[in-house]
Amino acid sequence: MNRFQLVQQIKGKRSFLCVGLDTDITKIPKHLQSHANAIFEFNKSIIDATKDHCVAYKINTAFYEALGVKGWEAMEQTVDYIPKTHFTIADAKRGDIGNTSSQYAKAFFETLNFDSITVAPYMGEDSIRPFMEYENKFVIVLGLTSNKGAKDFELQKMGDEFLYEKVISKVAEWGTPENLMFVVGATQSSELSNIRKLVPDHFLLVPGVGFQGGSLKEVSEHGLNKDCGLLVNASRAIIYASEDESFADEAKIIAQQYQQEMNGYLNF
Amino acid sequence: MNRFQLVQQIKGKRSFLCVGLDTDITKIPKHLQSHANAIFEFNKSIIDATKDHCVAYKINTAFYEALGVKGWEAMEQTVDYIPKTHFTIADAKRGDIGNTSSQYAKAFFETLNFDSITVAPYMGEDSIRPFMEYENKFVIVLGLTSNKGAKDFELQKMGDEFLYEKVISKVAEWGTPENLMFVVGATQSSELSNIRKLVPDHFLLVPGVGFQGGSLKEVSEHGLNKDCGLLVNASRAIIYASEDESFADEAKIIAQQYQQEMNGYLNF
């Protein structure tokens, strides 16, 4: 999917919601846990229930890898099941020397047909470039994350800037808004206006709304640009909205609530 | 495996060689490429041929993930096949918010029975801590890597220190030499003496010897401590030593050459 198509999706649905499929076998409803393919069955129901209200799905690879081969199979089935109208994100936090990052790009852009992947910036340019070589695919580089540990390095000063500012400015030189996005945690929404000055046109993937305490209103105020420019992710608040057989209906209700709130913030 | 057992292995074999199984289906000998389980067959031969001369195996997860479910299966088979006497490293460069890192720890320390995993430090303490909660397992945090991109952030100054120095000092506060190691690229061997001052007792995993141009002699001079404290990785130089049916014999010869050179550098 390219940037234009993503923006069209957002305009059509008046939503910039991304549903995070951090599917944990121990947290899905009891009646599904014994199913031979429980993770995929759960995801299918969540996707069917939420697809009208969101524009993207984010698969957190850790939860699938924890189950080994079976989990990797469920990830493959899930990404295949997501409608082609929706933007797909492998939340994989990869990144290695060039020839290894090329293999990760192959894994997530060819073997698995994701539209994008999250990548950690620590190893620099040649760890990120291989992901930029694919047409209509995006690398989503960690800028400022939503966790406590952001203070350890990301929010430390490197010269006059915070490390995360240095990362965003530098990485932005290597890509364009057509192949590059950044992760910016919602719990740091006061920093969003600042980040918008550094990258006015790029999309930002914003996790941390909901369970992690970020405010959708603040994120929208500080982060929206003329093409929306935001994908706000909610995982646990949607997928674990209910523990019983009505889980998909409840997920739909919460996704719709997000969509309606987003509709009010969009400036087009 | 714990630190004492690793040191005993090194003393017994007079080797601190780690063989990197960056197994690329397009680079293994032609006669194996059509095998139904080519990656595992290749790895088995390499392990059988090199196990007497090395103390560790490092599996680069990217090369397995590029093949999808089949690759993940080959990784599982490979880690099961490696003798329990050898230290195993999932070179996975993971790291995410706490609850996600816990899932990665589960994936690589429980579902797959690796002794250690490489982790990127960008997201700070709660992204690394979950890997430290396992007994007799190690988290190997990226310090200074061997690629060109190291200059982009790792070798930039943060106050009076380079970022990589800050990372090593800070992360060393969270773990001990019993559960924490660092990645230090061999192409940066001039920095090794400096790193030894920061972490005199920790093991360092050193990639980049061989194809990436690092010198084993320099690494040993600057990096050895009283318990050896080094695992030097060679991948392509060993596993692709020959393209024909003698590949395993050639790999054995190269591994033995490394071991003999290492024997001369060890100070016990």
List the domains of chain B with CATH numbers: 3-262 (3.20.20.70)
Q: In this structure, are residues B213 and B190 in contact, taking their beta carbons and an 8 Å threshold?
A: no
Burial of B257 (0-12, 13-18, 19+ CB in 10 A): middle
Residue B211 binned pLDDT confidence (cut-offs 50, 70, 90)? low
SS3 B89: strand
Burial of B126 (0-12, 13-18, 19+ CB in 10 A): buried
Q: Which two tokens stand for residue A124?
A: 């620099």
Q: Which residue of A has its CA nearest to B212?
A: A97
The fraction of chain B above a pLDDT of 70, given in percent, is 99
Cβ atoms within 10 A of the Cβ of B129, count? 17
Q: Which two tokens stand for residue A231?
A: 């994908």
Query: What's residue A65's pLDDT?
Result: 98
Tell me how far the alpha carbon of residue A241 is from its chain's centroid. Answer: 19
Instruction: Select from B80, B101, B103 the residue whose CB has the most chain A CBs within 10 Å, as the one to mutate to test that interface.
Output: B103
The string of DSSP letters for A154-178 reads TTSEETTEEHHHHHHHHHHHH--TT
Q: For B47-90, how does the pLDDT look when each residue is reduced to its tens digit (9 = 90+)?
A: 999 999 999 999 999 999 999 999 999 999 999 999 999 999 99
Average pLDDT (B112-127) is 98
Q: CB distance A62–B127 less than 8 Å? A: no
Nearest to B148 among A73, A106, A126 (CB): A126
Work out the minimum CA distance from A163 to partner chain B, whole angstroms: 8
Nearest to A145 among B91, B97, B110 (CB): B97
- A138 forms beta bridges with A116
Q: CB distance B69–A69 less than 8 Å? A: yes
Phi, then psi, of A160 in degrees rounded to 5: -85, -10
Q: CB distance B123–A150 less than 8 Å? A: yes
Residue B169 binned pLDDT confidence (cut-offs 50, 70, 90)? very high
**Is the model more confident about A78 or about B268?**
A78
Query: What's residue A211's pLDDT?
Result: 63
Phi, then psi, of A231 in degrees rounded to 5: -125, 110
> Is residue B133 predicted with pLDDT exceeding 80?
yes
Work out the minimum CA distance from A268 to partner chain B, whole angstroms: 34
- Residues in chain A, pLDDT under 50: none
What is the C-alpha to C-alpha distance for residues A186 and A206, in angstroms, rounded to an integer?
6
Q: Please state the ipTM of this predicted complex.
A: 0.97
